[in-house]
Structure 1
Amino acid sequence: MKELSNLWKMWTIYQCALILMLQGIYEVLADCTCFPKHPQQHFCESDFVIKATAKALDIALPNDSNITYAQLMDLPTEVINSANKVWKLKISHVFKGKSFLFPGISVQVYTPLFDGRCGVNHIQENKPYVIMGNLETDGKLTFDFCNWHRKWEELTARQKKGFRNTYKDNCSCHVHTCGIGSICGEREKQFVNNCDWDPFNGACYNKHATCVLRRKDKGCEWNYPIDQKDCVFPMR
């Protein structure tokens, strides 16, 4: 009977440990949620926008010491959850953030370690990407899965033009994500500097349209190439 009681205690402890472990895994896997935004709005809200090539990937603890995956697994869960991946990027062009970034330099950009914390895991080395992110108060460059990052070769001509100048020149305009909590067209009527963007029907706007300032009345409107008019239809 005593052995049975001990076995029951061990089984209970095992179940509790399994539940705690699964809760930790769930926290790591289930927390990442990104609000959809047009590339122009991503650009205007970012501290830096660069064209860069990934050269290496490390893991860093909160004290900035590098560590291997094998070493990391021996540390407390709280430390593991606060660790970051560090992408080493070689910058070829700076679209935004020219006061602290320069073409030709290599930088370290931090992202959360786990996918569930919105960490960026999948960047192909030696392929140029457009990467957007933030400059933290401690001087670190950070980005996560919700920050816009795409291979340069996958961008349309209109997007490349946007990164070079038209997004920056029109940051006084606001691309408002509609269809989620608001009806498309409402904010455009209330605020002249708004362009409504429906993420459920906005693929062509992503690729080919820019929200630009009208000279005549300082309001904003969608602008796109004439050959894309069949693809880009009015949002209203």
Structure 2
Amino acid sequence: MTWALNSCFLTLAVLLVWQMEELAEACSCVPAHPQQAFCNADVVIRAKVVGKEDIKVDNNIYGSLVTHFKYNVKQIKMFKGPSQNIDAIYTPSLSSVCGVTLKTNGQEYLITGRLNDDGKMHISLCNFIEHWEALTATQQKNLVQRYETGCDCKINRCTSIPCVIGGPAECLWTDWIVEKTARGNQAKHFSCIKRSDESCAWYRGAEPPKKDFLDIEDP
């Protein structure tokens, strides 16, 4: 009997650890350059978070209600998205399913996300979300002047040497190799812009693109 109980407890413990590991690994995102995050998003806004509510949302996978956070926001500027203002943003309450935690003390954020069919904006840890003041001056300007013009280009993230580029319409993103972070020099100061010959190259600066562009060695 003792052996059976010990075996039962051991099985339950293994299952509990397995479930915890499964939850911990449930949210997995590939880091994206801010320009790529901008191009992939349905909505990109600068907003001030002014409140938070817990709400229940239907879970289409398991057929049950799950808790989400509804962040009430005051939109300051829309860089990409629908014609109407965004006044609320939704996200899962658990980080294990990529839920996002935002400060509600009037903190200003740059927020990228998707727009559902019901017109609601949803965000996850896989979106690019940053305190507005933490953005570089170049990033702030690129939201208006640069990122959208380079959405036809592909930013190829280099994770190991040698880095491989697939074609002339790609920019090689080396922050992960050079600085061991997805928020390095290229992410902070460069955008990938299409040139007149349809090739793409990194560009740094606030002036309109010129004939000559910076190559990947410049960062």
Q: Which consecutive residues of structure 1, in runs of 5 or more, have no partner in the other structure?
A: 65-76, 227-231
Deviations 1:182-221 (A, max 9, x none): 842532xxx2221111223261101111111212x12111
The answer to whether 1:60 aligns with 2:55 is yes
Q: Are residues 86 and 214 of structure 1, via their aligned partners in 2, closer, same or farther at CA, if it must alter by over 3 Å? A: same
Deviations 1:47-71 (A, max 9, x none): 000001112222222249xxxxxxx
Query: Separation in 2 of the partners of 1:233 and 1:219?
Result: 13
How many residues are matched? 204
Query: Separation in 2 of the partners of 1:60 and 1:183?
Result: 48
Q: 2:178 aligns with which of 201, 218, 235?
A: 201
Query: Separation in 2 of the partners of 1:53 and 1:41?
Result: 23
Q: Is the 8 A contact 1:184 1:197 kept in 2?
A: no
Q: Which consecutive residues of structure 2, in runs of 5 or more, have no partner in the other structure?
A: 207-214
Query: 1:130-169 counterparts in 2 under 5 A?
Result: 130-169=110-149
Quote the offset at 1:79 in angstroms. Answer: 4.5
Query: Separation in 1 of the partners of 2:165 and 2:48?
Result: 41
The answer to whether 1:96 aligns with 2:80 is yes
Is the helix fraction higher in 1 or 2?
A: 1
The answer to whether 1:234 aligns with 2:210 is no
Q: Is the 8 A contact 2:158 2:177 kept in 1?
A: no
Match of 2:204 in 1: 224
Secondary structure, in 3 states, of the residue corresponding to 2:185?
helix
Letter in 1 for 2:19: G
Query: Separation in 1 of the partners of 2:78 and 2:118?
Result: 21
Deviations 1:116-154 (A, max 9, x none): 211112435311100001112343321111100001101
Secondary structure, in 3 states, of the residue corresponding to 1:207?
helix
Letter in 2 for 1:30: E
For normalisation by structure 2, the TM-score amounts to 0.79
Q: 2:68 aligns with which of 81, 84, 90?
A: 84
Deviations 1:73-113 (A, max 9, x none): xxxx9857x432222222111000033x42xx522x22222
Match of 2:153 in 1: 173
Aligned CA RMSD, in angstroms, stands at 2.9
Query: Separation in 1 of the partners of 2:67 and 2:34?
Result: 28
Q: 1:112 aligns with which of 78, 85, 92?
A: 92
Q: Are residues 37 and 15 of structure 1, via their aligned partners in 2, closer, same or farther at CA, if it must alter by over 3 Å? A: same
For normalisation by structure 1, the TM-score amounts to 0.74
Query: Separation in 2 of the partners of 1:13 and 1:85?
Result: 37
Letter in 1 for 2:178: N
**Structure whose alpha-carbon radius of gyration is higher:** 1
Q: Are residues 90 and 142 of structure 1, via their aligned partners in 2, closer, same or farther at CA, if it must alter by over 3 Å? A: same
Q: Are residues 158 and 120 of structure 1, via their aligned partners in 2, closer, same or farther at CA, if it must alter by over 3 Å? A: same
Letter in 2 for 1:135: L
